[in-house]
Amino acid sequence: MELEKIHYDNKIVKAFIIATVIFGIVGMSVGLLAAIQLFYPIANFDLQYTSFGRIRPLHTNAVIFAFVGNAMFAGVYYSMQRLLKARMFNDSLSWIHFWGWQLIILAAAITLPLGMTTSKEYSELEWPIDIAIALIWVVFGINMIGTIIKRREQHMYVAIWFYIATFVTVAVLHIVNSFEMPVTLFKSYSAYAGVQDALVQWWYGHNAVAFFLTTPYLGMMYYFLPKAANRPVYSYRLSIIHFWSLIFIYIWAGPHHLLYTALPDWAQSLGVVFSIMLIAPSWGGMLNGLFTLRGAWDRVREDAVLKFMVVAVTAYGMATLEGPLLSLKNVNAITHYTDWIVAHVHVGGLGWNGFLIFGMLYWVIPRMWNTKLYSSKLANLHFWIGTLGIVFYALPMYIGGVVQSLMWKEFAADGFLKYQNFLETTTQILPMYILRAVGGTLYLTGVFIMTYNLLKTAASGKFVANEEAEVAPMAKVTSTGGNWHHVLERKPVLFTVLALVAVLIGGIIELVPTFLIKSNVPTIASVKPYTPLELHGRDIYIREGCVGCHSQMIRPFRSEVQRYDPKGGEYSKAGEYVYDHPFLWGSKRTGPDLHRTGGKYADSWHFRHMLTPGEVSTGSIMPAYPWLYEQQINKDITASMINALRTVGVPYEEGYEDRANEDLDKQANRIVEGLQLEGLETSSDAEIVALIAYLQRLGTDIKLEKVATNQ
């Protein structure tokens, strides 16, 4: 057979690798800053752009979409060309993809510190950026499917299937979760409310972990691990089962993020069952990776690349066992809202994604520059310092999480909570926060060592922009037979459609009944839409990222009801959130839950507390918000806010948008007058007034119903 000469495009891989390293350093540094802010609040700098609530989403977005995202594209572009024996479909599309993605990152880096956020976790970017993401993602998809179509390999290797599943599923998740009603160019309201919004968000959030952080990396594991070990994958059969069961089951597990919340029970149970089932394919995949090294374990002792990969695959196995265990309701009751979850995601992020990326970089860069690694000593140093970093990160967070949770739940002999002040439970674990920052510093130091090593490596070689390969042209398919999976592997488009169907089934069965609930759920008659001033306050709450530390979801436990609503005795009900676009349930309690905070403190308390939290609550680690007292709410957009919310189903009467500002002024003036009585001066348009109005409204509607029934 005549061999054909083709050239693999290494230049695009190089570009994505450079972006990976740069954004890795940036994203982790921002994470370290956030970690320091939690025990040293001065590090918030009393500046709105650097306060924890805005820095945290910057960290998560930078690490997920910029660091892990760019590394994913580097890995996909490198391995796909070689597995399909074809250059990427179109060089221009590759570069549009690259620059488009970097522009999106730039837009995120600007808008998030400015407080432009939807507040939905890992989906914080506002609607114009959402549209850009969708377009660039489609460019990536066309480039990928195009390459698959012009391939010179009859059958698609399992890594390619993982890439296809990544593309179609992320597209579906992103589009469905991003339905939102624009108010201004950089402000929108989620099309879904309350329980529905929560379910859609965590269907998205969970599967973003699955299909952005896991499936593409499994594809990369199935390519780079055999390459680095120089031996075939342990069991190709197992990899097929791994693939189909993973994409079939993963999509159902989202509700495990909402256990014991106001989400209907059936959906919670569905999430639990499928989460437990996920152990099987995840561990099948982990074992398949580790067994690939059979007979090569002696090399793991010397080769830093293999070391990184072994720890990465092990971290994958640990995180995917831990995840299902955290999904058990009895375990979740203790771990949810605590730092245990932070430890869990960082075992996945630092261990699985980070270490697989490092392993890949150490392997691929000497080859792309046609040289040898500058220093394996430094690579090994990076490995050990990085591993120590993970341990120092995760262990304190596990301990802190359990300690704090048990303190939340502990009752004294008199039947009251032993630690009635939430702050006591936070200050108790501050030493753990300090240790965590030490872990983060170690890990980041390793990345700097790697950067130096990789730069030296590149300098010692010559970059091969177009790597020559001799490949056989694809044989004309003469046999139409073979069994169904053989046929499937030859037909990429059909394969893509089937993968999409597998994913959609889970999504539809999970989401549709909850959408039907909308007309059926027993609403609470006394729950009314927010007033215009409260809406402005709510937007400030969203802008400042309060949801990053405060939940608004009291679970039906005696300890939580007694802590958060000792007088009313009400846990949070689904009907209370029907006008919440978006929902603000939160997923972490660094501070107390706020769902029943309305009426709990005087307006003056909030006024003083937001300005000097550490003085009002001694030892508080909450940042100060001095700018809320200087900045004014934008009353020009009140009408657009009302209109947008009416469009997504909030029953403001027609024409109310014209009168809304009158109501706003009345309510604001009342608050200002009340503050004046206590000697506190502020303007009625100050942002703090709107925020106080919102906080005082929280969770109070249900109490009105009680009053109504008692009369």
Partner 1 sequence: MYKNILQTIDHVAIWPLISLSIFFVFFIVLLWWVFTADKAFIDEMSRKPLQDGSELNHDAEPLNL
Q: Which residues bind partner 1 (CB under 8 A)?
A: 3, 6, 8, 79, 82-83, 85, 153, 155, 157-159, 222-224, 226-227, 230-233, 235-237, 240-241, 244-245, 248, 264-266, 302, 366-367, 370-377, 379, 460, 464, 467-471, 483-486, 502, 505, 509, 513, 516-517, 520-522
Cβ-proximal residues to 672 (8 Å cutoff; 6+ apart), any chain? 682, 683, 684, 689
Nearer to partner 1 (CB atom), residue 391 or residue 505: 505
Q: How far is the CB of 170 from partner 1 (least distance, A)?
A: 22
Q: How far is the CB of 143 from partner 1 (least distance, A)?
A: 19
Q: How far is the CB of 211 from partner 1 (least distance, A)?
A: 19
Q: How far is the CB of 240 from partner 1 (least distance, A)?
A: 5
**Letter for the amino acid at 387?**
T
Q: What are the start-end ranges of the H helices in 410-429?
A: 422-428
Nearer to partner 1 (CB atom), residue 25 or residue 488: 488
Nearer to partner 1 (CB atom), residue 513 or residue 649: 513
Q: How far is the CB of 518 from partner 1 (least distance, A)?
A: 10
Q: How far apart are CA 432 and CA 43, in angstroms?
A: 17
Nearer to partner 1 (CB atom), residue 143 or residue 514: 514
Q: How far is the CB of 700 from partner 1 (least distance, A)?
A: 23
CB-CB contact of 582 with 190 (8 Å): yes
Q: How far is the CB of 114 from partner 1 (least distance, A)?
A: 41
Q: How far is the CB of 357 from partner 1 (least distance, A)?
A: 18
Name the CA dihedral angle for 455, 456, 458, 459, rounded to a multiple of 10 degrees: 120
Nearer to partner 1 (CB atom), residue 232 or residue 415: 232
Nearer to partner 1 (CB atom), residue 237 or residue 567: 237
Cβ-proximal residues to 618 (8 Å cutoff; 6+ apart), any chain? none
Q: How far apart are CA 76 and CA 521, in angstroms?
A: 45
b/e string for 11-40 if b means 16 or more Cβ within 10 A?
Answer: bbbbbbbebbbbbbbbbbebbbbbbbbbbe
Closest CA to 660 of 673, 644, 683: 644
Nearer to partner 1 (CB atom), residue 288 or residue 638: 288
What is 552-567 written as a DSSP string?
Answer: ----S-HHHHHHH-TT
Q: How far is the CB of 292 from partner 1 (least distance, A)?
A: 9
CB-CB contact of 565 with 417 (8 Å): no
Nearer to partner 1 (CB atom), residue 207 or residue 405: 207
What is 638-672 written as a DSSP string?
Answer: HHHHHHHHHHTT--PPTTHHHHHHHHHHHHHHHHH
Closest CA to 700 of 578, 560, 599: 599
Nearer to partner 1 (CB atom), residue 457 or residue 638: 457
Angle CA(374)–CA(301)–CA(321) in degrees, nearest 5? 110
CB-CB contact of 595 with 553 (8 Å): yes
- Containing 611, the helix (H) or strand (E) segment is helix 603-611
Nearer to partner 1 (CB atom), residue 403 or residue 524: 524
Nearer to partner 1 (CB atom), residue 4 or residue 662: 4
Residue 334 tokens read as: 């203790």
Q: How far is the CB of 235 from partner 1 (least distance, A)?
A: 8
Q: What is the DSSP letter of 591?
A: S
Angle CA(298)–CA(301)–CA(304) in degrees, nearest 5? 125
Number of residues that this document lists for the chain: 711
Nearer to partner 1 (CB atom), residue 295 or residue 431: 295
Nearer to partner 1 (CB atom), residue 573 or residue 635: 573
Q: How far is the CB of 558 from partner 1 (least distance, A)?
A: 21
SS3 261: coil
Closest CA to 354 of 63, 558, 637: 63
CA distances for 629 relative to 44, 83, 420, angstroms = 17, 59, 30
Q: How far is the CB of 233 from partner 1 (least distance, A)?
A: 5
Nearer to partner 1 (CB atom), residue 434 or residue 488: 488
Cβ-proximal residues to 71 (8 Å cutoff; 6+ apart), any chain? 16, 17, 20, 24, 353, 357, 360, 361
Q: How far is the CB of 458 from partner 1 (least distance, A)?
A: 13
Q: How far apart are CA 680 and CA 683, in angstroms?
A: 10
Residue 488 tokens read as: 């499937």
Q: How far is the CB of 265 from partner 1 (least distance, A)?
A: 5
CA distances for 211 relative to 71, 207, 248, 306, angstroms = 14, 6, 12, 24
Q: How far is the CB of 496 from partner 1 (least distance, A)?
A: 17
Q: Given CA atoms 599, 605, 606, 609 in this order, what sign does their dihedral have? A: negative
CB-CB contact of 550 with 586 (8 Å): yes
Nearer to partner 1 (CB atom), residue 27 or residue 366: 366
